[in-house]
């Protein structure tokens, strides 16, 4: 899936692109069907909220699940990022983030590259996230929030929050968020399952708790240019991957192929 010049210009200005209906209902259904089984597993990669029950995020599912292995190499995921970072990419991180109905907790304001630089020694912000909605995302069920244009300010000073949620995060303070929001505002891209988000690794973002009766699940694949791979390996491999092999995109029908295979 190639981006046009207007889309590239919009990304450079705002720091993100929202593309609705990139994956069709059949493809979404293939992936959604795998999530309960993954979330039910008791393994290090499945990180739960402070209640010890609701799943916050499931890391590295592409290493042990066929549907998500295919998603990580899907041309609609990989090709847009390759065009934006100008070259081949590898999977730095893969996660399925849940916002379970009533129990999904906050993700504090942060920049992803800030973590990748501090914890993983990734040299430059030549990496980004591409995400696919597995559920409809509304204003009620914990949508992702961005401060448009905030990626232009580079990597900002952050503190290591070890207390607010179950997952430690390098977070930005209230004064910084207020200053940035006064200039850029705040947006929350919303849309149907199958929609796609691409956003810069320095874009400031967060998501509120989900106190609605509607859960929402989003898959995030963090892709990095192969020349920009991490230099430090203090985090577990399933959080910050160490296989820097360039992704070879699979055929466009690779998810639908699983449906046909199941029907045989």
| Ramachandran sector of residue 86 (left: φ over 0; alpha: ψ -120 to 50; beta: rest) | left
User: What's the predicted TM-score (pTM) here?
Assistant: 0.93
Q: Which tens digit of pLDDT belongs to each residue from 192-208?
A: 999 999 999 999 999 99
Domain spans in the chain, listed from the N-terminal domain onward: 5-263
pLDDT digits (tens, 9 = 90+) for 121-179: 999 999 999 999 999 999 999 999 999 999 999 999 988 877 777 677 888 999 999 99
Torsion sign over Cα 232, 238, 240, 246: positive
- Give Cα separations from 218 to 98, 152, 173, 185, 195 (angstroms): 7, 25, 25, 23, 10
Note the pLDDT of residue 262: 64
Domain 5-263: assigned CATH number: 2.60.120.620
């Amino acid at each position: 899936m190639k981006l046009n010049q207007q889309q590239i210009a919009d990304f450079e200005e705002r720091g993100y692109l929202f593309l609705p209906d990139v994956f069709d209902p059949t493809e979404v259904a293939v992936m959604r069907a795998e999530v309960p089984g993954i979330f039910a597993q008791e393994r290090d990669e499945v990180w739960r909220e402070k209640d010890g029950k609701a799943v916050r995020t499931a890391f590295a599912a592409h290493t042990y699940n066929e549907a998500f292995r295919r998603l990580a190499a899907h041309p609609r995921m990989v090709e847009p990022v390759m065009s934006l970072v100008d070259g081949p990419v590898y999977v730095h991180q893969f996660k399925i983030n849940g916002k379970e109905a009533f129990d999904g907790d906050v993700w504090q304001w942060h920049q992803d590259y800030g973590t990748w630089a501090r914890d993983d020694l990734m040299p430059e912000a030549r990496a980004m996230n591409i995400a696919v909605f597995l559920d409809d995302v509304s204003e009620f069920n914990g949508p992702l929030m961005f401060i448009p244009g905030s990626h232009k300010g580079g990597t900002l000073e952050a503190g290591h929050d070890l207390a607010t949620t179950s997952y430690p995060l390098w977070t930005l303070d209230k004064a910084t968020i207020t200053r940035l929001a006064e200039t850029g505002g705040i947006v929350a891209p919303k849309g149907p399952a199958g929609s796609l988000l691409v956003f810069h690794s320095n874009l400031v973002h967060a998501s509120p708790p989900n106190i609605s009766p509607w859960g929402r699940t989003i898959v995030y694949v963090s892709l990095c240019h192969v020349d920009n791979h991490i230099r430090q390996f203090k985090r577990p491999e399933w959080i910050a991957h160490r296989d820097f092999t360039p992704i070879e995109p699979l055929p466009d029908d690779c998810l639908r192929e699983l449906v046909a295979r199941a029907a045989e």
